[in-house]
A and B are shown apart, each in its own frame.
Chain A
């Protein structure tokens, strides 16, 4: 087992496409790190550079104490699981599992075995030892009964297990997993997630896992690395990233349903401030506004010259948007935008556009005067689609991001 370290690693393809841009990443020994991001963000390229399947344009990659920039994939002591599993179709499951061990055979010579009994004995022992390892890995993954089959005769989940087994059998310094679950159906994916965690616990191996599925990332990783356009946007534990997303992209990418991101601006009003939500793309049209405390407004306006109104994005997780039952007034009390500055909640009228029911919870898609909001409710809300409801926004849970290109978090 080993740690992995990337320093200022970049990948530029011929033609100038910068797939990975100056990535710094430290992965501790035994850590389960998930690289997550939308497709084309550079996460797979990063993984393939660690594997040695892709040359790096600049920077340094270390595995353990060794700089591996110029080390061939076969000499990096890594194991990799591919999205397509990449099982050798002409070999049985057992032969697939044995394949990575072939290189370690010190007594491979068949001819020499014929000539030297001692060598033959060593060879037999070695073969037996390798057999045991394969059997052990097969047992862990519960594929013992499949060992004599060929990959064609296996289901997707079984192939996945064999692919994992092939990585497991040789005890590598690092496991690299390239979207290993995305070819599985939803139920199997959940099962395999748990299995992966279990495997990580049992082997204690360093694992680098790539996925575009943020939920998979959240549930699997000790630590998440969120990437976009070849750049790391945030690194942290799943909770850190969920609770304090570093920018509006991370905020919107992590969490299901996605965080509500409302475009608008923050301006000073007397001693306090207020957030003005924009309606659609129109800069002038005001959907609604809400007051904010002086400290918060100051934090935002500190970033603009002469306390001029500053474009800002307001982020609210769906569980901070609550549809009020009829008769309930909510903490905001007043209707529309006429509420007391001290209040941290806002009550609005909104049209219920659609309802998604999950049984134990439901997601409500709302239109609050031209701003689309998603609310998550754990209690049943019996309102017909198309009718008007009252919605309470819990502003104590609001995140604020700069309204410029990068959308950095404002605290």
Chain B
């Protein structure tokens, strides 16, 4: 039929076209306005800050701190102090950043350092001092404190501080404790044990005095352990606590320097063996160490542990709520408790754990920054901080005032923290954080979970540490990365690639103008994604490839990265035992999680596909875990797999009892075999995504095919095996590949639930990568690790694709 265009309809058509143009115009304008507005907002904020400062000649100082255990109260105290400082110092304005807890603080700090814009004044924990100084991040404070003739500095008296706390921030380029000063300690703590006085009384034990010994300690633990339903003591085996314990015996893990390892010293071995035996050869004397949930400071709060430690002052705010008073209801846990310093061995010893205010080397207003540090560490501010009860003021006068020694709040024995300071030292660690990590992980495995002998732990630690020291990567005399050459090479590759791509596109370009316009429109529509991909994906990927050829700490600027060629890869593939372990752990997990997950997902999808009542409800219920926050669910699952009180073992115990088998200690002594499977079981919880894809696949199978098979005499299994499964095979392949890739990227669960422990038995590949990159500051090494992972996953994917060729039937797919 011939199309007749009436004047009216052509008018309407034009109107519609014009309307469409107007609408598109309005939308485009709105989008541009939105972008422009957001740029303007951000820009204006930055400029106004700059402008104000310039206009008023004001100096701006950026202060960064954390308020982890102190919470909003600590936040408010700092806020208030800074406000007072601003009033007292006209011309200086302070911008405060509080990223939250210490972990977020260091992440943020690292980002700011790399960006070349560190805060001017910030917290530094003593344990990070040597590292930060080595990286050239901290300004020495000698010129402000030391020079006695300086009028301003003379008012600042370091003698007013506990000497051990000040020494913690001296570093001479080799050892902590001597040399220039890099921070003014804001507060500190010594460590000891917290005692449940009610339990001790029930056990008929008199609380000992401050000068107690390890013999007394273990005797009390044994006595309390004899009480029904109670354990003697919780003894944490953190690296620093293991060292302090050795100090009290007049020993240490190292001699003169960190190349002089003393773990094979018979005295050290004997001391550690005593500690191990207390836990593993006696019932109920020390907490079993099997469970990670019920360990640390929280164990004390159950009221079923006689003593807990060694902990510092930081647990006091949490324990304060345990003290009985009228406001407590009957069911609540409440008991009398107090603090005792670390028991004495052959000598008294203790450790100073402290945080200081430090000034960035890059800070442009060091004089003003110093004034701020001085102000923040003044007696007045320390008194205010001390209200939190979290830590001990570093000024002796404040610490010995009522601001700290307040009798009305527990613990009664506040003075013990101060007395211990007299015998306390700084726990120094090598600049390379891997020493402490390795030592901690091996001691944890040997002393707490007990699945590694002390000798093996020592041997393994030494071998790993020596490799770190002796690998070619440790060689400092490396050329810096030739970034210019890299940039030129990258530009050349881009130019050639771009030219080739354009040429190919031109060759296949559509002939008609209409088609060209359509193609252009396509590129425009895809452009936001393309730009996003280039900036946020392609560039970082290329950068990580370049970085994998360097050693770079991730904190200094890129210019300081030194070029090491393929040494990172060689080190990883040939020498790094921990990396091999992590790969084995991950592969073990993948081997379990992928098949189990796919079978479960397919089974669930088939149940949902069969018409059952309340299908939408079950569908939602099965998918729900996939949308929950990973960290939260990981915490819950940690409890499920808890060795002693976990749901999983509570369910398994009656089933295994007739066989005479005890349920496994998933993340304890049996972690080598049962740790990764626990994660695999947990992964079954998040099959929702695969399940939905299977469900869609099942719904795409023509019903008649299954009916035809039924009529052709096939039973349920043969219908599944010969019709459903082949028809579904492309979907299965897709899901398997996605699952394989996902299984090699496990991170959150392991990070939250076990942190890789015990030892490295649940240290998944990506977790180890994270440890190296963000905790050991080995960003180049970690980048190489990421590329090895990419190759491994790529090879596996290719293997799956190749291996499944004869099993996957694409004929069933609709064209």
Which chain A residues have a beta carbon within 8 Å of chain B's beta carbons?
A: 51-53, 72-74, 76, 78-80, 82-84, 86, 88-90, 99-100, 102-104, 150-152, 166, 170
Contacts and interface: CB of A to CB of B under 8 A. Distances in A.
Given A86-B705, A90-B726, A90-B727, A150 B712 contact: no
A24 B161 CA distance: 105
A86 B707 contact: yes
Most chain B CB within 10 A, of A84, A90, A150, is at A90
Nearest to B809: A90
Interface string B697-717: 000001011011111111100
Given A89-B727, A90-B809, A99-B722, A79 B711 contact: yes
Contacts of B727: 89-90
B811 A82 contact: no
Contacts of B718: 102
Given A53-B707, A80-B708, A99-B709, A90 B714 contact: no
B723 interface: yes
B711 A74 contact: yes
Kindly list the 5 A-B residue pairs having the minimum CB-CB distance in the complex, ordered from nearest: A103-B713, A90-B809, A89-B811, A86-B708, A86-B704
Given A80-B711, A86-B707, A99-B722, 19 more contacts: A51-B711, A52-B710, A52-B711, A53-B711, A73-B710, A74-B715, A78-B711, A79-B712, A80-B708, A82-B708, A84-B702, A86-B708, A88-B722, A88-B723, A90-B729, A102-B718, A166-B708, A166-B712, A170-B712
A50 B812 CA distance: 28
A152 B712 CA distance: 21
14 contacts: A53-B710, A74-B713, A79-B711, A80-B711, A83-B704, A84-B704, A86-B705, A88-B709, A89-B812, A90-B811, A99-B712, A100-B712, A102-B713, A103-B713
A114 to B, nearest CB: 21
A148 to B, nearest CB: 14
Nearest to B712: A100
Contacts of A51: 707, 711
Given A86-B705, A86-B708, A151 B811 contact: yes
Contacts of B722: 88, 99
A72 B710 contact: yes
Nearest to A54: B707
Nearest to A72: B710
Contacts of A99: 709, 712, 714, 722
A84 B707 CA distance: 12
B610 to A, nearest CB: 15
Nearest to B815: A152
Given A74-B714, A102-B713, A152 B708 contact: no
Nearest to A78: B711
A150 B711 contact: no
Contacts of A76: 711
Contacts of A151: 811
A72 B711 CA distance: 9
Nearest to B811: A89
Nearest to B715: A74
Interface in B236-273: none
Contacts of B708: 80, 82, 86, 88, 166
Interface residues of B, number: 21
Nearest to B808: A90
Contacts of A152: 811
Interface of B: 702, 704-705, 707-715, 718, 722-723, 726-727, 729, 809, 811-812
Contacts, number: 70
A245 to B, nearest CB: 33
B705 A88 contact: yes
Contacts of B710: 52-53, 72-74
Nearest to B708: A86
Contacts of A53: 707, 710-711
Contacts of B729: 90
B713 A100 contact: yes
Contacts of A84: 702, 704
A82 B714 contact: no
A78 B811 CA distance: 27
B612 to A, nearest CB: 14
Nearest to B705: A86
A104 B714 CA distance: 10
Contacts of A52: 710-711
Most chain A CB within 10 A, of B705, B707, B729, is at B707
Most chain B CB within 10 A, of A76, A86, A151, is at A86
Nearest to B813: A89
Contacts of A104: 713
Nearest to B723: A88
Contacts of A103: 712-714
Contacts of A150: 811
A79 B707 CA distance: 11
A85 to B, nearest CB: 8
A104 B713 CA distance: 9
Nearest to B726: A90
Nearest to A82: B704
A73 B711 contact: yes
Contacts of A78: 711
B522 to A, nearest CB: 31
A104 B729 CA distance: 27
Contacts of B704: 82-84, 86
Contacts of A166: 708, 712
A72 B714 CA distance: 11
A104 B718 CA distance: 13
A52 B713 CA distance: 12
Contacts of B702: 84, 86
B284 to A, nearest CB: 55
Contacts of A102: 713-714, 718
A88 B715 CA distance: 16
B489 to A, nearest CB: 48
Nearest to A166: B712
A214 to B, nearest CB: 24
B720 to A, nearest CB: 13
Nearest to A150: B811
Nearest to A172: B711
A74 B713 CA distance: 4
Nearest to B725: A90
Contacts of A82: 704, 707-708
B701 to A, nearest CB: 10
Contact of B809 (A74, A80, A86, A89): A89
Contacts of B707: 51, 53, 73, 80, 82, 86
A52 B709 CA distance: 13
B723 to A, nearest CB: 6
B806 to A, nearest CB: 11
Contacts of B714: 74, 99, 102-103
B101 to A, nearest CB: 56
A79 B729 CA distance: 27
A89 B712 CA distance: 15
A82 B811 CA distance: 19
Contacts of A72: 710
A72 B809 CA distance: 29
Contacts of A89: 727, 809, 811-812
A169 B308 CA distance: 80
Contacts of A170: 712
A89 B727 CA distance: 8
Nearest to B704: A86
Nearest to B719: A74
Contacts of B726: 88, 90
Nearest to B707: A53
Most chain B CB within 10 A, of A78, A80, A83, is at A80
Contacts of B715: 74
A53 B723 CA distance: 17
A84 B722 CA distance: 19
A22 B490 CA distance: 80
A133 to B, nearest CB: 14
A54 to B, nearest CB: 10
A249 B712 CA distance: 37
